[in-house]
A and B are shown apart, each in its own frame.
Chain A
């Protein structure tokens, strides 16, 4: 059974940093592209970032480009999101998600999410 478990969320002040983690199990993590998606209260879902199986190709939403960095450690079966210079609009529930196919496709497995609140 696929499991994705996020951690690292919390209350952070504007301009500060936070690192989210997602630990994967139940599938061959090192073969899959992976994603971060966030649910902004009252606004809906927003795709945040993706990383290829080997970490060589990354993509970011325009709203976080230059501030967030996605990475992975295949040995630890873990996905990360380094969030720097956070803003109030980054307040959201952050999910990691796995696609149907190793190269992409719809997101068939999601973690439970980790809540990030940016507030002074």
Chain B
């Protein structure tokens, strides 16, 4: 199984800041990595697919990059509505796995 570890687990930042969340895989895989945003107990929202592709309707403040075992999600010009938990997910092999999540608090 490909295990994904996100860091940090908790992040506090202010409106206008830039933050980066890291997702590290237990083994190398192709770039079928996605990022999701989940607010409270609602359905997750797809932000980024295949490492760096922005999902339709997602503001360009969100960006992804990486390869091999290390991937990042960067959010620039933070807005209050960015307060949420963010998850990475690998879609290379079953079982599909998610990172444990990064909770982003906007001060």
Contact = CB atoms under 8 A, between A and B. Distances in A.
Interface of A: 35, 37, 39, 43-47, 50, 59-62, 93, 95, 100, 104-108, 110-113
B20 interface: no
B89 to A, nearest CB: 7
A61 B95 CA distance: 6
Nearest to A57: B94
Contacts of B38: 39, 45
B79 to A, nearest CB: 22
Is the contact region of chain B dominated by helix, strand, or loop, or is it mixed?
Answer: loop
A110 B91 CA distance: 16
Contacts of B89: 45, 47, 106-107
Contacts of A47: 89, 95-98
Contacts of A39: 38, 41
Contacts of A112: 42-43
Contacts, number: 67
Contacts of A100: 46, 49
Nearest to A100: B49
B22 interface: no
A44 B44 contact: no
B91 A44 contact: no
A25 to B, nearest CB: 16
A45 B43 contact: no
B73 interface: no
Given A47-B98, A59-B95, A110 B55 contact: no
B85 interface: yes
Interface in B77-103: 85, 87, 89, 91, 94-101
